[in-house]
């Protein structure tokens, strides 16, 4: 169930996605929240870094680990504008993120049920809470605008 706090933090993730858009990256943004505060931000940098792993979530979790001085992101929530892919889903589990909140579905790569559902499989060491489709229309509209612009 969506709450006002989720929408507030998803709007922060959308700001990051817009930064990616401005840099001609696929517009995905993420923020990591700990104790009610944003401790890390990230947006896609795949093209800039020429690195297929430079997804918004990965960059954000890396920055979060630095902020907490710990790779274990216990009691954090990651907000991302797009459903995480399999790589990012794995990183969320390995990093011990408590909760992920995502916006628009990713029909081609989404690991939260659109392509595959890695979050529904019981993990041996970690349970991840998932909230999906928060501000779905806004997150999806940004993606559509980006790809429409690329096709012109």
Q: Which residues are catalytic?
A: 57
Q: In this structure, what token pair is assigned to residue 29?
A: 């943004």
From 89, 44, 40, select the one nearest 65 (Cα to Cα): 40
Whole-number Cα distances in Å, 31 to 107, 114, 123, 127, 141: 22, 22, 24, 20, 19
Angle at 114 between CA 54 and CA 97, to 5 degrees: 50
Closest to 143 measured CA to CA, from 91, 101, 103, 109: 103
Token pair recorded at residue 129: 């809470």
For residue 119, give the nearest of 107, 101, 144 by alpha carbon: 101
């Amino acid at each position: 169930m969506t709450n006002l706090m989720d929408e507030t933090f998803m709007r922060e993730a959308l700001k990051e996605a817009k930064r990616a858009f401005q840099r001609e990256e696929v517009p995905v943004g993420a923020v990591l929240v700990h104790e009610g505060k944003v401790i890390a931000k990230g947006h896609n940098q795949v093209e800039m870094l020429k690195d297929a792993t430079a997804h918004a979530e990965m960059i954000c979790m890396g920055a979060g680990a630095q902020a907490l001085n710990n790779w274990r992101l216990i009691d954090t929530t990651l907000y991302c504008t797009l459903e995480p892919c399999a790589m990012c889903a794995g990183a969320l589990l390995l990093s011990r993120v408590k909760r992920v909140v995502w916006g628009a579905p990713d029909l081609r790569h989404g690991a939260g049920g659109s392509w595959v559902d890695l979050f529904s499989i019981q993990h041996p060491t970690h349970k991840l809470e998932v909230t999906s489709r928060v501000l779905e229309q806004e997150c999806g509209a940004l993606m559509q605008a980006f790809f429409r612009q690329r096709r012109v």
